[in-house]
Amino acid sequence: MGQRLSGGRSCLDVPGRLLPQPPPSPPPVRRKLALLFAMLCIWLYMFLYSCAGSCAAAPGLLLLGSGSRAAHAPPALAPGPDGTAPKLPFQAVPATPPVAGKEPAEGAGSQEEQSPETPDSPSSISSFFSGSGSKQLPQAIIIGVKKGGTRALLEFLRVHPDVRAVGAEPHFFDRSYDKGLAWYRDLMPRTLEGQITMEKTPSYFVTREAPARISAMSKDTKLIVVVRDPVTRAISDYTQTLSKRPDIPTFESLTFKNRTTGLIDTSWSAIQIGIYAKHLEHWLRHFPIGQMLFVSGERLISDPAGELGRVQDFLGLKRIITDKHFYFNKTKGFPCLKKAEGSSKPHCLGKTKGRTHPEIDREVVRRLREFYRPFNLKFYQMTGQDFGWD
């Protein structure tokens, strides 16, 4: 009944047999999502691994590349015959009992106050990769001076992604030398290649044994000394002691052996630490002057970015810390960080910093300036820097 189509087909066959077939179904959506998730995980892992230990210290958007300086590896320590960790020769620092309100002039006993808000606690990224990197002996040490601004300098430096520093003062080269380099190294934070390990202990500068001991660890160690007007530094030192021991004698009575004759008591540590030229002579027997950087404590307050620029150059680091990292806190009277290491919040040093100094007799201050003047001039000549204290 119906007409035949070519090929012998009936037109009745067309509906159901000649309609176009649907295209093959695409791969399941879940497979695509799984592949995308796997690629994202791989990318995230590589990103975090590359940033571990460096991005953790970068404030805000400081996700910049590492500096050009590679941290040198410390000499290997050969185990002793009994398999124990080796120890360097040790000569104990003689302990001098304190005299009525006075601290020992050299070595132990002049530890700077620890800032409770600045422990060596890694950020979340560093903690995630706590096993990455390795512990190295420090390639740079802030060796002094007490009440000069060493804590501020260390906290500012820790903003740099290529600087890793232990928070507490180790006091290895003045108090714990008998524990050995292996013990000292274990105190240090882990670092990646290209990062610098640092520590700061201000009493090293006035410890006679410290220069030889640091040189025995590594002759290439870079040394940083933060110095401050010795008269102001002495008053600040006394203020710190007074906050702990309100019953100590007055600054004026401790300054002189005999106030009538005007003879200054150089055995008092607050006075003795400020004779910078005398202490520097010991260091120059073991280290060239070019291996030491002298940072102005005054300029660290008035121009922190400028002084940090000098420090970064000295350490062979890219100049990442700039004036954009600081703001001036009028209440405390010194600069603070807009963002501290591993934090997105502003950070100032604790209440133990920036104490109000007691009123000191002007005549006593004048005599102290006269006492320090020749030592200051010699220090300017030795360092090639005029710090403007006179």
Is residue 62 scored above 80 in pLDDT?
no
- Asked if residue 124 lies in contact with residue 342, where contact means CB atoms within 8 angstroms, the answer is yes
What is the reported pLDDT for 369?
Answer: 97
122: confidence class by pLDDT, cuts 50, 70, 90: very low
What is the reported pLDDT for 14?
Answer: 44
Is residue 17 scored above 80 in pLDDT?
no
What is the reported pLDDT for 79?
Answer: 45
Of residues 201 and 332, more confidence is placed in 201
* Cα 123 from Cα 335, distance rounded (Å): 23
Instruction: With respect to residue 17, please indicate whether it lies within any of the assigned structural domains.
Output: no
Provide the 10 A C-beta neighbour count for residue 355: 12
Instruction: With respect to residue 292, please indicate whether it lies within any of the assigned structural domains.
Output: yes
Q: What is the DSSP letter of 179?
A: G
Of residues 352 and 138, more confidence is placed in 138
Tokens 């080796």 map to which residue?
86
Per residue in 356-377, pLDDT (tens digit) is 889 999 999 999 999 999 999 9
Q: How far is CA 355 from CA 71, 230, 238, in A?
A: 37, 17, 11
Instruction: With respect to residue 237, please indicate whether it lies within any of the assigned structural domains.
Output: no
Q: What is the mean pLDDT of the chain?
A: 78
**Residue numbering of the annotated binding site for 3'-phosphoadenylyl sulfate:** 147-151, 228, 236, 353-357
Most confident of 59-73, 77-91, 188-202: 188-202
Instruction: With respect to residue 378, please indicate whether it lies within any of the assigned structural domains.
Output: no
What is the reported pLDDT for 21?
Answer: 56
334: confidence class by pLDDT, cuts 50, 70, 90: confident
- Asked if residue 154 lies in contact with residue 112, where contact means CB atoms within 8 angstroms, the answer is no
Q: State which residues form the domain around 324.
A: 134-230+269-354
Is residue 314 scored above 70 in pLDDT?
yes
When pLDDT is averaged across residues 73-86 and rounded to a whole number, the result is 44
What is the reported pLDDT for 338?
Answer: 86
Question: Which residues form the catalytic set?
Answer: 147
Closest to 177 (Cα-Cα) out of 108, 237, 130: 108
* Cα 232 from Cα 236, distance rounded (Å): 6
Instruction: With respect to residue 259, please indicate whether it lies within any of the assigned structural domains.
Output: no
Instruction: With respect to residue 163, please indicate whether it lies within any of the assigned structural domains.
Output: yes
Grouping H, G, I as helix, E, B as strand and the rest as coil, residue 190 is strand
Is residue 389 scored above 50 in pLDDT?
yes
> CATH number, domain at 210?
3.40.50.300
Q: Angle at CA 62, nearest 5°, toward 53 and 162?
A: 40
What is the reported pLDDT for 5?
Answer: 43
Instruction: With respect to residue 38, please indicate whether it lies within any of the assigned structural domains.
Output: no
What is the reported pLDDT for 353?
Answer: 61
What percent of the chain is predicted at pLDDT more than 70?
A: 66
Tokens 């120890």 map to which residue?
87
- Asked if residue 212 lies in contact with residue 286, where contact means CB atoms within 8 angstroms, the answer is yes
- Asked if residue 251 lies in contact with residue 367, where contact means CB atoms within 8 angstroms, the answer is no
Helix axis angle for 362-383 and 230-244, nearest 10°, is 120
What is the reported pLDDT for 261?
Answer: 85
What is the reported pLDDT for 187?
Answer: 98
The torsion defined by the Cα of 240, 242, 244 and 247, in degrees rounded to 10, comes to 170
Instruction: With respect to residue 290, please indicate whether it lies within any of the assigned structural domains.
Output: yes
Of residues 355 and 388, more confidence is placed in 388
Number of domains in the chain: 1
* Cα 384 from Cα 323, distance rounded (Å): 26
Per residue in 99-110, pLDDT (tens digit) is 445 655 444 344
Per residue in 264-292, pLDDT (tens digit) is 999 999 999 999 999 999 999 999 999 99
36: confidence class by pLDDT, cuts 50, 70, 90: confident
When pLDDT is averaged across residues 193-203 and rounded to a whole number, the result is 97
Per residue in 146-168, pLDDT (tens digit) is 999 999 999 999 999 999 999 89
- Asked if residue 125 lies in contact with residue 56, where contact means CB atoms within 8 angstroms, the answer is yes
Closest to 67 (Cα-Cα) out of 196, 212, 235, 206: 196
Lowest mean pLDDT among 108-122, 185-199, 233-247: 108-122
What is the reported pLDDT for 348?
Answer: 81
Most confident of 6-15, 112-121, 254-263: 254-263
